[in-house]
Structure 1
Amino acid sequence: MNGIEHTIKDEIRQIFIYEVLFFLFLNFIIYFFYKNFLKADLYKKLNRIKAFLESGKDKKEIYLGDDQWILQFWRVVKAWQQENLSNISKLDKEKEILTKIISAVDSAIILLDKDFNFTVKNNNLLYLFERSKYNCIQGIKYIEIIEVIREAQLKNKDIKKEIYIQDLKKYFLITVKKLDSREEYLLSIKDMTPAREIVEVQRKFISNVSHELKTPLTNIKGYLIALKDAPDSVKENFINIIERNIDKMENIIVDFLNISKMESLNIINISQVSEEKLSTFLKESVQGIIKKKNGFLEFKFELLEKDSYLQIDFEKITMILKNLIENGFIYNHSENPKVAVNIYEMRKTYKIIVQDNGIGIEKNKIDKIFERFYRVDKARTSNVAGTGLGLSIVKEIIKNYEGEIKVLSEEGKGSTFIISIPK
C-alpha cells in the first residue's frame, strides 16, 4: 500500500514539474513573441505618432492597424495636438502684436530678471546701452538711470522719477515696476527733452508776447494822457505816435494769428494762380507801407510757358512774400525804398528772389533773423512797427512746403532772400 502511494506521489510530482516547465516555456514563447513582434509593432506605431507630433502638421493620416485601444489613444493625442497647435498659433500672433507695440512705443522698454539681466529689450534709445553687455548694471551707460533701478530694488517698490543726464543734456522719465509673481522688473525710459523744450518755448513765447504788447500799450496810454493837456502844436505828433503804436499792436496780433495757423495747418493746397492775381493781391496788401515810405515795388515773372499759371499754395506764398516785402520797406532808411520780387519757374521748382535796398543785416546775425521776436539792433532802436515774427512765419511756411530759403545781405546795402519751393 505504501508502495502504491509512493508511486502516485512520484507521478504527481512529475506531472507538476512538467506543467511548470510547460508554463515556463509557454511564457518564454509569449515573451519572445511580445518582444520581437507585439512590442516592436507597438514601438513602430508609437514612433509614427511621435513623428507626426514632431512634424507640427495639423492634418495628416497615419496607419496604426486595427488595435482599437491604440486607435483611441491616437484620436486623443491628435485632438490634443490640434488644440496645442491652435494655442501656439494664437500665442505667436499675440507675441507678434506685442513685439510691434513695444517697438512702436517711443520709450525704451526693458524686462529685467531677478539678477537684473536683460530678458526683453526693444530697439529705442540704444545710445543709452552697451551692446555687448547683458546685465543692466554694466549694460546701461549712465549712473543716473542705474541709481533709480537700485532705489526700486532697495525700497522694494515701484519708482517713477524724472532725471537729467548732464553728458547728454537731456531729461528722461524712468519708471521701474516690480513683477512680484515672477521676481522681475519692468523698466521704461522716455526722453522728455522735446516736451521740456516745448514748455520752454511756450513760456518764452508768452513772455515775449506780453512784452511786445505791453510796450505799445504803455506808449498809447502815456500819449493819450499827455494829449489831454497838450498844446495844439504837438497834438498832431502825439496822434501820429499813437497811430504807429496801434499799427504795431495790429501787426503783432496778425502775426500771432498767422503763427498759430501755420502750426495747426500743415497742408499745402496747390491751385492755379495767374501772375496778375499774385502781383495785384500783394500790391494791394502792402499799399499802406508803400505809400507811407514813398517806396516802389516791382514784379518780374519768368515761366516756362507764356501766359501759363503758377502751381502754388496762394495763401502761403502770399504770406511769405507779404512779410518779406513789408520788411524790405520797414527796415529801410533809403530816400527811395525799393523792393523787387522775381519769380522763376524751373523744371521741378519755383525760385523766388526778393531783393531790397534796406539797412541790411550783419553777417554774424543772419542766422538769428528767423528766430521769433528777433530784430536787428538798428530796427529795435528805430520807431518801426515790426514785430520780429515775420521771418519766423516765413521759415515755418517754407519748412511745411519742404522748400529752402537762403539770405544774402550786406549791412547798409540791402538784403536778398532766395527761396526754392517744389512744384
Structure 2
Amino acid sequence: MSIRLKLLISYAAMLVVPLVLMIVTALLLVFVFRGDLQNLKSLYERQLEGIEDSDVHYLIKNTIADNPELLTDTRYLDELSNELQARNGFIAVRIGDRLLYASEQIKDNADLVSGLSPFKHRGYRNDAPTRNYGNDLYAMKQFDFVTADQRPGSLFLLNKVDPLVFYARKYFPSLFIALVVILVLTHSLLTYLMSKNIIHPLHELRRAAREIKEGNLDFRMKVGGNDEIGQLGVAFEEMRSRIQDSLRIQKQYEENRKELVSNISHDLKTPITAIKGYVDGILEGVADSPEKTQKYMKTIAAKAEEMDQLIDELFLFSKLDLKSIPFSFENVPVLAFLRDWTEDLQFELEKKSVRLETDIRSGTDGVMLVDRDKLNRVLTNVIQNSLKYMEKKDKIIAVEAWDDGEQLHLEIRDNGPGIDAEALPYVFDRFYRAEQSRNTDTGGSGLGLAIAKQIMDGHGGDIRAESQEGEGTTLVLTLPIRREG
C-alpha cells in the first residue's frame, strides 16, 4: 500500500470517526434527557412544546369549543396563566378591539400587545412565526372564537423562547451541513497539504536514487524541512556529496597512479639505457684500454646508485603517502638542534664552495616534539634542492630562525635562479619539476620537496615556498613548539 493511500485512509478516518462519535453522543444524550427517540422529532418541530400537548392546552381547546364564556372570566384566566407560567408560557385574551386579559409578565410589553394579530373567523387557528417583541423573543399561537353575545374574540398563547436555543433549533440543518462541509474541506485541504509535504520529498528522493543508480552524481537534492523526511533528505544529500567526492578522489588517484607509472618508467629508463650503453661498449671492445674501461665502470656504478636513490625516495614517499611509516617523536631543544644542524651544514657546504649565512635569534629556547631523523631528511632535501639549481659564481645559502611563542619559523634562502610564478604552486607535487626535461643532473627525481611536505604534515607543521625569478628561492618551515618549564 502506497504512503499516499495510507494518508488518504488515515485522514478519511479522521473525518468519519468524529462524525460517528458526534451522532452516537447526540443519541445517548437524547436517551438520557428525553427518554426515547420519538421525542427527538418533537424537540425540533415544536416551538411551544410546554403548552401544546399539556392538559391546560387541552382544556383551552375544549373551552373554546364548548364554553367560550370562560375566557371572559378573570379568575379562570388567572388560574390558567399560573399553570402556564410554570412552563414559561403566557396568555392574552382580546374581545373585540379591547384586550380583556394578559398575563402579568407580558401586559406591560407594548410591542407585544400592539402586535397581536387581528380576528379572522370562528375556529381560526394560527401558529405565528417566532419573532422579537421588544427585547424578548416569543412564539405565538392564535385561536379565534365568538362569545355568546356574538362578539369576536381571540385567545393568544405565548411562549418565551431562549434566542440561542431557538436559533440553534431553527438553523440546525444549515449549521450541521455547514459543519460537515467545513470538516470535509478542512480535512481535504489538510490531506492535500500533508500529502504534498510528504509525497513531493519522497518523489525527490526517488529521483535522486535513480540518478545515483545511473551513475550521475552531478546534482543537488532539494529536500528541506525539519521533519524526519527533511532529515532523510539532508542525509541523502550528504551521502551523495561524499560519494561524489570519493569518486573524484578515486579518479584523481587513478590519474596520479598513471602519472606515477609514467614518471617512474621515464626516470628508471634513463639510467638503465645509459648502463646498457656502457655495458655494450665494454662487451664490444669500445673500452679498449684499462683507463676507458675504468671510466665506463664508474659511470655504470653512478647510474646504478642514481637508480637506487630514486627507488629509495619512491619507496619512502609511498609509505608516507599511505601513512604506513611510523614517526618516532621525541622532545628536542630547538636551539641545540639548530646549532648542531647549521654546524654540520656549514662543513658540507664549504666542500662545495657555498657560503652559509645564519641568523638564529635569541629566545629560540623552546622544545619541539619531532622525529629527529625525518626532520633532518626534510632539511637535507631542501638544501639539496637549492644546490641543484645554483649556477652563480658566488653561491650563498642563508638560514634564519625565530619563534613567536607558539611556532618555530625557519627560513632557508638561496641566491639561485628562482622559480617561475606559474610553477611555484606545484613545487611540492610529486614528480613535479620546473625544468620539464626531467634531466636528473638538474632536476632530480621530483620527489624531494613532496617528501618534505609529507613529513612536515606528519609533524603538524607546514612548509611553503616563496620565490622571485632571478633573485632566489626561500623555503619557510613552521613547527609547533612549547616553552621549557
So what's the TM-score if we normalise by structure 2? 0.46
Q: Which runs of 5+ in 2 are unaligned?
A: 1-31, 33-194, 221-235
Within 5 Å, give how 1:91-130 maps onto structure 2: none
The aligned counterpart of 1:134 is 201
The aligned counterpart of 1:301 is 360
The aligned counterpart of 1:230 is 287
Contact 2:392 2:416 in 1 (8 A): yes
What SS is found at the alignment partner of 1:224?
helix
What's the CA shift for 1:280? 4.0
What's the CA shift for 1:225? 2.3
The aligned counterpart of 1:28 is none
Q: In structure 1, which of residues 323, 328, 331 is the aligned counterpart of residue 386 of structure 2?
A: 328
The aligned counterpart of 1:58 is none
Contact 1:213 1:249 in 2 (8 A): yes
Contact 1:342 1:354 in 2 (8 A): yes
Contact 1:244 1:385 in 2 (8 A): no
CA pair 275-164 structure 1, distance change in 2 beyond 3 A: same
What's the CA shift for 1:329? 0.9
Letter in 1 for 2:210: I
Within 5 Å, give how 1:236-251 maps onto structure 2: 238-239=296-297, 241-251=299-309
What SS is found at the alignment partner of 1:134?
helix
The aligned counterpart of 2:332 is 272
The aligned counterpart of 2:210 is 146
What SS is found at the alignment partner of 1:376?
coil
CA pair 368-223 structure 1, distance change in 2 beyond 3 A: same
Letter in 2 for 1:163: G
The aligned counterpart of 2:270 is 215
Contact 1:289 1:329 in 2 (8 A): no
Q: Which runs of 5+ in 1 are unaligned?
A: 1-34, 36-114, 120-132, 149-160, 169-185
Asked which structure has the greater CA Rg, the reply is 2
Contact 1:344 1:350 in 2 (8 A): yes
Q: In structure 2, which of residues 368, 383, 389 is the aligned counterpart of residue 311 of structure 1?
A: 368
Q: In structure 2, which of residues 257, 263, 275 is the aligned counterpart of residue 202 of structure 1?
A: 257
Contact 1:331 1:358 in 2 (8 A): yes
Q: In structure 1, which of residues 407, 410, 413 is the aligned counterpart of residue 468 of structure 2?
A: 410
Contact 2:461 2:477 in 1 (8 A): yes
What SS is found at the alignment partner of 1:135?
helix
What SS is found at the alignment partner of 2:422?
helix
CA pair 141-162 structure 1, distance change in 2 beyond 3 A: closer
What's the CA shift for 1:287? 6.9
- Superimposed CA distance per residue, residues 90-125 of structure 1 (whole angstroms, 9 cap, x where no aligned partner): xxxxxxxxxxxxxxxxxxxxxxxxx99979xxxxxx
339-348 or 189-198: bigger deviation: 189-198
What SS is found at the alignment partner of 1:363?
coil
What's the CA shift for 1:299? 4.1
The aligned counterpart of 1:257 is 315
Tell me the matched-pair count.
263
Q: Is 1:368 aligned with 2:426?
A: yes
CA pair 281-406 structure 1, distance change in 2 beyond 3 A: closer
Percent identical: 24
The CA distance in 2 between the partners of 1:211 and 1:261, in whole Å, is: 21
The CA distance in 2 between the partners of 1:200 and 1:286, in whole Å, is: 41
CA pair 374-348 structure 1, distance change in 2 beyond 3 A: same
What SS is found at the alignment partner of 2:450?
helix
The aligned counterpart of 1:43 is none
What SS is found at the alignment partner of 1:421?
strand
Contact 1:328 1:338 in 2 (8 A): no
The CA distance in 2 between the partners of 1:239 and 1:391, in whole Å, is: 31
211-220 or 294-303: bigger deviation: 294-303
What SS is found at the alignment partner of 1:343?
strand
The CA distance in 1 between the partners of 2:387 and 2:417, in whole Å, is: 10
- Superimposed CA distance per residue, residues 378-420 of structure 1 (whole angstroms, 9 cap, x where no aligned partner): 7734724711001111222223333333322233332111222
The CA distance in 2 between the partners of 1:382 and 1:358, in whole Å, is: 18
What's the CA shift for 1:369? 1.1
CA pair 288-410 structure 1, distance change in 2 beyond 3 A: same
- Superimposed CA distance per residue, residues 251-288 of structure 1 (whole angstroms, 9 cap, x where no aligned partner): 31232233134232475824124645555457658977
The CA distance in 2 between the partners of 1:196 and 1:382, in whole Å, is: 29
The CA distance in 2 between the partners of 1:289 and 1:214, in whole Å, is: 31
338-347 or 375-384: bigger deviation: 375-384
The aligned counterpart of 2:453 is 395
CA pair 322-116 structure 1, distance change in 2 beyond 3 A: farther
Q: In structure 2, which of residues 402, 419, 444 is the aligned counterpart of residue 386 of structure 1?
A: 444
Q: In structure 2, which of residues 414, 423, 427 is the aligned counterpart of residue 356 of structure 1?
A: 414
The CA distance in 1 between the partners of 2:279 and 2:349, in whole Å, is: 24
What SS is found at the alignment partner of 2:215?
strand
Within 5 Å, give how 1:11-50 maps onto structure 2: none
What's the CA shift for 1:298? 4.7
Contact 2:346 2:356 in 1 (8 A): no
The CA distance in 1 between the partners of 2:198 and 2:326, in whole Å, is: 42
Contact 1:353 1:416 in 2 (8 A): yes
What's the CA shift for 1:341? 2.2
The aligned counterpart of 1:59 is none
The CA distance in 1 between the partners of 2:218 and 2:210, in whole Å, is: 15
- Superimposed CA distance per residue, residues 113-147 of structure 1 (whole angstroms, 9 cap, x where no aligned partner): xx99979xxxxxxxxxxxxx51334x5776xx535
The aligned counterpart of 2:399 is 341
Within 5 Å, give how 1:72-91 maps onto structure 2: none
- Superimposed CA distance per residue, residues 275-321 of structure 1 (whole angstroms, 9 cap, x where no aligned partner): 45555457658977864x4334454422416xx46424123322221
The aligned counterpart of 1:163 is 215
- Superimposed CA distance per residue, residues 38-58 of structure 1 (whole angstroms, 9 cap, x where no aligned partner): xxxxxxxxxxxxxxxxxxxxx
CA pair 310-295 structure 1, distance change in 2 beyond 3 A: farther
